[in-house]
Copies of this chain bind each other. A is one copy, B any other.
Amino acid sequence: MTPHDYANENFQRFCDELVDLLRLPSVSTDPERKHAVLDTADWLAAHMHQIGLENIAIMPTAGYPVVYADWLHAGISAPTLLIYGHYDVQPAVLEDGWQHDPFTPEIRENRLYARGSADDKGQVMVHLKAIESLLANGGCPVNVKYIIEGEEEIGSPNLAAFVTQHKDLLKADICVISDTGIHSLEQPLIYYSLRGLLSFELIVSGPTRDLHSGYGGMLHNPNQAIAEIVAQLHHPDGSVAVPGFYDDVLLLSDAERAELAKANMPDSEWQKMMGDLPEWGEAGYIRIEKYGARPTLEINGINGGYTGEGFKTVIPAKAIAKISCRLVANQKPEKIWEHIQNFITQITPPTVRCEVRYLGGGEPAYTPIDHPAVQAAVRAYGSQWDNPVLFARGGGSIPIVADFQSLLHVPVVLMGFSLPDAGAHGPNESFHLTMYRKGIHTIITYLHEVKNAAN
Is A165 in the interface zone, CB < 8 Å from B? no
Across the interface, do B231 and A227 meet the contact criterion of CB distance under 8 Å? yes
Give the shortest distance, in Å, between A95 (CB) and chain B (any CB): 12
Closest-by-CB residue of B relative to A293 is B217
Partner of A314, one of B155, B233, B300, B397: B300
Total copies of the chain:
2
Partner pick for A230 among B227, B324, B326, CB 8 A cutoff: B227
Query: With A and B bound together, what is the CA distance between A210 and B426 in angstroms?
Result: 5
Cβ contact of A310, chosen from B29, B214, B295, B321, cutoff 8 A: B29
Q: A313, B300: Cβ atoms under 8 Å?
A: yes
Contacts of A247 in B (CB 8 A): none
A353 within 8 A of B: yes
Q: B residues within 8 A CB of A206?
A: 274, 277
CB within 8 Å of B: which A114-170 residues: 153-155
Cβ of A302 and Cβ of B307 under 8 Å apart?
A: yes
Q: Which of A44-52, A194-202, A252-260, A377-385 contacts B (4 or more CB under 8 A)?
A: A194-202
> Given known contacts A300-B311, A313-B324, is B272 in contact with A208 (CB within 8 Å)?
yes
- Interface residue ranges, A against B (CB under 8 Å): 29-31, 90-91, 96-97, 153-155, 195, 197, 199, 201, 206-221, 223-224, 226-228, 230-234, 265, 272-275, 277-282, 287, 290-291, 294-296, 298-316, 319-322, 324, 326, 350-353, 359-360, 394-397, 423-427
Q: Give the top 9 A-B pairs by smallest Cβ distance, nearest first.
A: A214-B396, A214-B395, A223-B299, A301-B305, A301-B307, A231-B231, A227-B230, A220-B280, A303-B307
Q: Could you list some 14 contacts between A and B, CB below 8 A?
A: A29-B312, A97-B209, A155-B311, A197-B313, A199-B311, A217-B281, A217-B282, A218-B265, A218-B287, A219-B280, A220-B280, A277-B353, A300-B305, A301-B305
